[in-house]
Amino acid sequence: MITLGWTSGAAERNLGKVCTPDDKDLLMRRAIVAVLAGATVLAGSACDSDATSTDTTAASSPPSVAPSTAANTAPPDYSASTRLVCDKLKTLYTTELRAFGTAMGKMVTYKEEKQTSEAEKAERVAAGQLQAAATKIRKETAAAENPDFQAAGKVSAAKLETSAKDRKYMDKVKTLTDLNKSVEAQFTEWLNPVAGYCG
């Protein structure tokens, strides 16, 4: 049986010709679903907040000065650029962060089975995916016109890079229950600066 890109042979019970997942397999699936659900919440409305706030401001505040003066004092409209960058960042959730979730699930399974070397390999893969996510965020937000969005991208990227290097989060996750309880909050911590522009 293939589960989100990795095989889980020993974790199955064979009932005739039907393989059913055991509790560990189901817990890991829940962890990955939580990763994807959290990502969907963060990316779901993809920059609508930027466009909406601009439209609401324009509609609710009557012009108090002549149009030529208003054009000079109006803040720049970054909504198109922000939307473009956010659309590019959506792939984080289906590529790097999904691979991170899968590697974390493997790591925890190996930890529980006392397979230390395999757990360390999976942890390295997870750290590599965090680094890749940081690189993508840094690259894509650098192209944003909004300097505040660029700064938010640097903050999110730095948080991911720190976690990839020090691995404190990965070290404290010992069981699939730990992973299920903490992964969504951890994604929010890493991605909140950028999600403020894309969520």
Q: What is the pLDDT of residue 74?
A: 87
pLDDT at 60 over 50: no
Place of tokens 């990502």: 39
Q: What is the pLDDT of residue 35?
A: 54
pLDDT at 194 over 90: yes
Sign of the CA dihedral with 155 first, then 158, 160, and 166 last? negative
pLDDT at 50 over 70: no
Q: What is the pLDDT of residue 104?
A: 96
Q: What is the pLDDT of residue 166?
A: 95
pLDDT at 68 over 50: yes
Q: What is the pLDDT of residue 70?
A: 53
Q: For residue range 5-45, what is the model confidence (pLDDT) as tens digits?
A: 444 444 444 444 444 455 555 555 555 555 555 544 444 43
Q: For residue range 74-129, what is the model confidence (pLDDT) as tens digits?
A: 889 999 999 999 999 999 989 999 999 999 999 999 999 999 999 999 999 999 99
Closest CA to 126 of 97, 147, 155, 151: 97
φ/ψ of 4, rounded to 5, equals: 50, 45
Query: Crossing angle of helices 116-142/176-198, nearest 10°?
Result: 10
Q: What is the pLDDT of residue 93?
A: 87
- Bridge partners (DSSP) of residue 21 are 12
Question: Domain segments of the chain: what residues?
Answer: 24-52+78-198
pLDDT at 190 over 80: yes
> Rounded CA gap, 188 and 191, in Å?
5
Q: For residue range 158-189, what is the model confidence (pLDDT) as tens digits?
A: 999 999 999 999 999 999 999 999 999 999 99
